[in-house]
Amino acid sequence: MIYHKDAYLVVIGGAEDKTADKVILNRLVELTKKKDPKFLVITTATEKPREAGEQYTKVFRSLGIAKTVVLNIESREDANREEIFNEMEEGDCIFFTGGDQLRISSILGGTRVHDLLHRALHEGKIIAGTSAGASMMSEIMVVEGIDEEAPSRCTIKMAPGMGLIEGVIIDQHFNQRGRIGRLLSAIAQNPHSLGIGIDENTAIVLNHYNTFEVIGSGVVTIIDGRNIAFTNTCEQYPDEPLAITNVRVHVLPKGYGYNLTTKDPIIQYEKVQDQS
């Protein structure tokens, strides 16, 4: 939960524009509200940390960010090192690259870095992540699943995430990789959680009101399973097709939003925020 009015979570569905208008990455710069902010790029998720670090350093420099520090945290020992902790305390925006979300949670979970991430949301910092860096933000994350096929009962693998957003399961590259089936399967198994599927070059910007705005070129798909009437989800015959009824779905492009507290979509998000 975000408590500080200047803190934001920016959750990106992957493949964000880095060469043209850079709408999503530009928003990160705007949200810091500082003349000379310090950006941190955490490359834990990727197997090519040097390339990812150089790429984002170059992009953020093109957006006017003079201070970008790349932190390649490769082990739990790294995640508890004093110098890493000090660098993160001084950062204004903490950005997670894509890769493997399980690397993030298994390496950072329960460490000093993990604690600092939660504290950062009380101190007015920005935390952003793309692709795997988006999935890791939820309490439960999808680690693996079959794309572009009819959903099955129990063919997806899930694991605990970093818990930066409560009560949600986030999936990324959503419509581009046909992932609605696997998110439906995840919600069938966890109907108390809200499914949030984020397209490529699309992001949600979550604030301390517990509402988010959709930005970017794609859409965000919300799956609300609180009123599921029936599902055949169980471990027996896991490869059989999933049956699920009475699921509520919202599809939200840029300019729309969602209230995570009331579970209601927001039409004309900016006008609603102007009135709050």
- Distance between CA atoms of residues 60 and 14, nearest Å: 16
Predicted confidence band of residue 22 (pLDDT cuts 50, 70, 90): very high
Instruction: Please tell me the predicted confidence (pLDDT) of residue 251.
Output: 98
- What length does the chain have? 276
CATH number for region 8-275:
3.40.50.880
Q: Which residues contact 240 (CB under 8 A, 6 or more apart)?
A: 152, 153, 232
Cα dihedral 47→140→124→77 (10° resolution): -50
Distances (CA, A) of 50 to 14, 41, 44, 97, 156: 19, 11, 11, 11, 31
200 is known as an active-site residue: yes
Using the predicted structure, report yes or no on whether residue 103 has a pLDDT greater than 90: yes
By the 10 Å C-beta count (0-12 exposed, 13-18 middle, 19+ buried), 66 is classed as exposed
Q: What is residue 150's DSSP assignment?
A: -
pLDDT tens sequence across 47-94: 999 999 999 999 999 999 999 999 999 999 999 999 999 999 999 999
Confirm if 16 and 26 have CB atoms less than 8 A apart. no
Using the predicted structure, report yes or no on whether residue 145 has a pLDDT greater than 80: no
Domain map (residue ranges) of the chain:
8-275
Q: CA nearest 254: which of 27, 7, 1, 3?
A: 27
270 is known as an active-site residue: no
Phi and psi torsions of 50, nearest 5° = -65, -50
Catalytic choice (135, 138, 200, 213): 200
Other beta carbons within 10 Å of 109: 17
Catalytic choice (16, 105, 131, 152): 131
pTM of the model: 0.95
Q: What is residue 111's DSSP assignment?
A: S
Using the predicted structure, report yes or no on whether residue 153 has a pLDDT greater than 90: no
The mean pLDDT value of the chain amounts to 93
Instruction: Please tell me the predicted confidence (pLDDT) of residue 1.
Output: 78
Mean pLDDT of 169-198: 95
Of the ranges 20-34, 134-148, 160-174, 192-206, which one carries the lowest mean pLDDT score?
Answer: 134-148
By the 10 Å C-beta count (0-12 exposed, 13-18 middle, 19+ buried), 20 is classed as exposed
Using the predicted structure, report yes or no on whether residue 237 has a pLDDT greater than 90: no
Instruction: Please tell me the predicted confidence (pLDDT) of residue 140.
Output: 94
Catalytic choice (138, 173, 193, 213): 173
Using the predicted structure, report yes or no on whether residue 235 has a pLDDT greater than 80: no
Distances (CA, A) of 99 to 76, 87, 235: 18, 22, 29
